[in-house]
């Protein structure tokens, strides 16, 4: 869910730009209306004829573009500033154009529907109600000539005009909110299905990766089982030949020839297996990246934890760098262990897995927002096994505390081992 909300926040910046441009379009339409009014195409009945009203309206409609495009402000407050400008501008439109611009009061609510934000919608509704009452009071009472300012007139403005329009606006807002919730649910479902499809696709690639790793493991076992025994037998034969040579040179030569034949057979087996390890079976940093993405997405789908991946420190050249199957398997398991520990012992809700390369060293950082664990589990890829592996392979294991807890695994990038 949080990954989905993160996408909405990124989309928010684009919406800020769009709504600011919409304000400019609104200003353009208002200018056309004023020009047509001056040309006597139609007549606007209003007592707000002072230039300050029109200048204030223009400023409120231009301000969003200044904030978003010129000053490039970002943050949650920007959307509130844009909507506030829109609401006040709508109120000024009503004051300037009076009943001819009644529908303009719902315009900010239409804009806020683009954000899919309940808090912003409630804020817009509350502010619009206040501005609606204030604009009705200003246009239909405060700016009227003294002769029309009576208690009865004020009652008419508020009770018979403003409040009914506020009630109609309430109904409109509720309908917009219902549509927003429905749309938001559909978008969320689409995002979830898309994410699941991505995981399935990555799982297929990971299955191929696992098959290649299993094949390498099988080849290693074959070499150990066949070649190991053959070489051991050849060593025994050579030792026996050395003992027999002083008394029985012929028997010694025969054992030596057998040992040589066994060694040749072993060499052929090794060559055969090495040929099987062609380039298609070489694992790369890209394979590791795909495996980590699958691991993190599966954990997200199976739990309430948000797991973010960061591969910005891996260039295209680094992604093609070969890695041993053993190293890929180790890092995959180590990341799983660290994430599990963060959830289980630290109570983490947000986790970030970061891979990057510096000076031919591959850094794997697993950060979580939980508390510092007292100890790591000893089973699986526990602390001892992680430390043992990195020490044996010229790497290091470090921890960082402060805002959360971070495990830092550093290994030589290298090639195949």
> Looking at residue 308, which CATH number applies to its domain?
3.30.565.10
What's the first-to-final CA gap in the chain, in angstroms?
40
Average pLDDT over residues 342-364: 88
Best mean pLDDT range from 140-154, 157-171, 210-224: 157-171
Q: Residue 332's Cα: distance from chain center in Å?
A: 20
| Residue 303: C-alpha distances to residues 50, 331, 376 (Å) | 62, 21, 21
Domain check: are 253 and 292 in the same one? Answer: no
Stronger pLDDT, 31 or 377, i.e. the higher one: 31
Domain check: are 28 and 85 in the same one? Answer: yes
Provide φ and ψ at 97, rounded to 5°.
-100, -10
Domain check: are 363 and 246 in the same one? Answer: no
Give the domain-ending residue among 149, 169, 189.
149
pLDDT-derived band of residue 416, with 50, 70 and 90 as boundaries?
very low
- Domain membership flag for residue 388: yes
pLDDT at 82: 94
Domain check: are 136 and 29 in the same one? Answer: yes
Number of independent structural domains in the chain: 3
Nearest to 95 by CA among 33, 142, 127, 130: 142
Lowest mean pLDDT among 222-231, 336-345, 405-414: 222-231
Stronger pLDDT, 277 or 262, i.e. the higher one: 262
At residue 63, does pLDDT exceed 90? yes
Mean model confidence pLDDT for the chain: 80
Give the domain-ending residue among 244, 261, 281.
281
- Domain membership flag for residue 189: no
Nearest to 219 by CA among 153, 271, 295, 167: 271
Element (H, E) at 396: strand 396-402
Domain check: are 309 and 256 in the same one? Answer: no
pLDDT at 417: 45
Domain check: are 7 and 132 in the same one? Answer: yes
pLDDT at 180: 81
At residue 56, does pLDDT exceed 50? yes
Domain check: are 325 and 273 in the same one? Answer: no
Burial class (CB in 10 A: 0-12, 13-18, 19+), 49: exposed
pLDDT-derived band of residue 85, with 50, 70 and 90 as boundaries?
very high
Domain check: are 265 and 346 in the same one? Answer: no
Domain check: are 254 and 316 in the same one? Answer: no
- Domain membership flag for residue 190: no
Let me know: does 26 contact 89? Beta carbons within 8 Å: yes
Give the domain-ending residue among 261, 281, 301.
281
- Domain membership flag for residue 180: no
Average pLDDT over residues 103-107: 85
At residue 163, does pLDDT exceed 50? yes
- Domain membership flag for residue 172: no
- Domain membership flag for residue 196: no
For 261, other C-beta atoms within 10 Å of its C-beta total: 13
Domain check: are 312 and 258 in the same one? Answer: no
Domain check: are 140 and 259 in the same one? Answer: no
- Determine the Cα angle at 302 with ends 300 and 303, to 5°: 70
pLDDT at 216: 67
pLDDT at 414: 65
**Which stretches of 63-183 are assigned E, i.e. beta strand?**
none
Domain check: are 333 and 371 in the same one? Answer: yes
Nearest to 307 by CA among 255, 369, 237: 369
CA gap 82, 22 in Å, rounded: 11
pLDDT at 378: 47
| Residue 29: C-alpha distances to residues 13, 26, 110 (Å) | 25, 5, 17
Domain of 127, in residue numbers: 2-149
Judged by phi (left if over 0) then psi (alpha if -120 to 50, else beta), residue 379 lies in: beta
pLDDT tens per residue, range 268-311: 666 666 655 554 456 788 888 888 887 787 777 677 788 889 99
């Amino acid at each position: 869910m949080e990954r989905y909300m993160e996408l909405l926040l990124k989309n928010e910046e684009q919406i800020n730009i769009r709504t600011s441009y919409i304000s400019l379009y609104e200003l353009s339409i208002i200018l056309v209306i004023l020009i047509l009014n001056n040309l006597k195409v139609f007549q606007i009945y209003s007592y707000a004829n002072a230039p300050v009203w029109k200048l204030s309206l223009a400023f409120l409609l231009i301000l969003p573009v200044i904030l978003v495009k010129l000053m490039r402000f970002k943050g949650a407050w920007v959307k509130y500033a844009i909507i506030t400008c829109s609401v006040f501008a709508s109120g000024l439109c009503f004051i300037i154009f009076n009943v001819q611009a009644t529908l303009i009061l719902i315009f900010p609510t239409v804009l806020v529907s683009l954000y899919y934000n309940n808090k912003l919608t409630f804020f817009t509704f509350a502010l619009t109600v206040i501005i609606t009452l204030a604009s009705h009071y200003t246009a239909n009472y405060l700016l009227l000539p003294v002769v029309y300012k009576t208690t009865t007139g004020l009652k008419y403005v508020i009770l018979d005009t403003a409040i009914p329009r506020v009630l109609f606006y309430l109904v409109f807002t509720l309908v917009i909110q219902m549509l927003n919730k429905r749309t938001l649910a559909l978008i969320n479902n689409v995002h979830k299905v898309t994410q699941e499809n991505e995981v399935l696709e990555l799982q297929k690639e990971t299955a191929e990766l696992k098959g290649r790793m299993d094949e390498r493991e099988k080849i290693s076992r074959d070499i150990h089982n066949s070649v190991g025994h053959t070489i051991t037998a050849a060593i025994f034969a050579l030792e026996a030949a050395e003992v027999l040579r002083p008394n029985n040179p012929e028997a010694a030569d025969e054992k030596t020839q057998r040992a040589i034949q066994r060694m040749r057979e072993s060499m052929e087996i090794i060559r055969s297996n090495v040929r099987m390890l062609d380039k298609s079976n070489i694992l790369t940093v890209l394979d590791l990246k795909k495996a980590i993405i699958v691991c993190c997405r599966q954990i997200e789908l199976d739990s309430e934890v948000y797991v973010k991946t960061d591969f910005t420190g891996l260039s295209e050249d680094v992604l093609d760098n070969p890695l041993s199957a053993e190293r890929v398997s180790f890092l995959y398991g180590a990341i799983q262990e660290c994430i599990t520990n963060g959830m289980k012992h630290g109570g983490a809700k947000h986790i970030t897995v970061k891979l990057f390369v510096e000076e031919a060293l591959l850094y794997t950082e697993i950060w979580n927002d939980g508390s510092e664990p007292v100890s790591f589990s000893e089973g699986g890829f526990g602390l001892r096994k992680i430390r043992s592996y990195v020490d044996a392979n010229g790497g290091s294991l470090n921890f960082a505390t402060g805002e959360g807890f971070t495990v830092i695994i550093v290994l030589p990038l290298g090639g195949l081992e």
